[in-house]
Amino acid sequence: MNSEQTTILLKYLKSFLSEPHVTNENTVEVFDAFDQKRATALPELKTLVGDFISGKIGITEFKETHDLKSREFPYWGFGGFSGQMQLNQFTNNIESADKEIVFRNAVKIPATEAEAREKIDTLVKYITDKRSTSNKRRSLPRQASVKYVLTYFWEIQDHMKWPVYYNSSRTMLESIGILERFLFNWSHNGHDGESLSIAGVKMS
């Protein structure tokens, strides 16, 4: 990291520390209070994800229960199109007997960044294959949302290791020129030969 990049980062840090607030659902909140809300919500969300991974509940019950929880705990922005809508489309509109197993395997927390890349690639390919043979592609989940969906569920399981991927985080790190240095940064081949990158910023 060069001196210019360091100066930019320190400027952002100083600005944040002078007024530590976040904007969530068009409401400005003190960061510590918002972060505590996330911390309080995590155990309940983690139990739900664990019940799905263990097979205690199926994908339909998981989807429906999580829909309610994402409204009750709207601290990750998951309730919109790129999050819960993608889970709904995956559950409701993919007509394949193996979809539950595929999603359960993807949601299980990876042990390494290499495994994380593999999980993302596998789910992207699965969705791509389903879209290629469907005449209702608009009703199926998007490959571009896979990173966000999976890292959201990984953060719920271990927020100290796996931060949620937000495209805004990637854009900011890339604009500063330090994306390649970031700890949670990896690349994989996306659909149509596109190169996709992942970057997360720890918010909790």
With both helix axes pointing from N to C terminus, report the angle between 31-54 and 146-157 in degrees, rounded to the nearest 10. Answer: 90
Q: What angle do CA 137, 52, 35 make, to 5 degrees?
A: 90
pLDDT of residue 194: 33
CB burial class (10 A; 0-12, 13-18, 19+) of residue 111? Answer: exposed
pLDDT beyond 70 at 22:
yes
Residue reference for tokens 């990173």: 147
* Measured distance CA(106)–CA(118) in Å, rounded: 9
The model's pLDDT over 116-128, given as tens digits with 9 standing for 90+, comes to 999 999 999 999 9
What confidence tier does 190 reach under pLDDT thresholds 50, 70, 90? Answer: very low
Round the average pLDDT of the chain to a whole number and report it.
Answer: 85
- pLDDT at 158 (0 to 100): 95
Q: What is the pLDDT of residues 82-122, one digit of tens each?
A: 999 999 999 999 999 999 999 999 999 999 989 999 999 99
Residue-wise pLDDT for 121-162, tens only, equals 999 999 999 999 998 888 999 999 999 999 999 999 999 999
Mean pLDDT score, 162-180: 78
For residues 36 and 19, which has the higher predicted lDDT (pLDDT)? 36
Q: Give the separation between CA 66 and CA 140, rounded to whole angstroms.
A: 19
- Beta pairing class for 27-30 and 195-199: unpaired
Residue 119 token pair: 């999980």
Lowest-confidence region among 30-44, 71-85, 127-141, 172-186: 172-186
Q: What is the mean pLDDT of residues 178-190?
A: 49
Tracing tokens 């081949």 back to the chain, one arrives at 189
pLDDT score, position 54: 98
The DSSP symbol for 108 reads: S
Percent of the chain with pLDDT over 90: 60
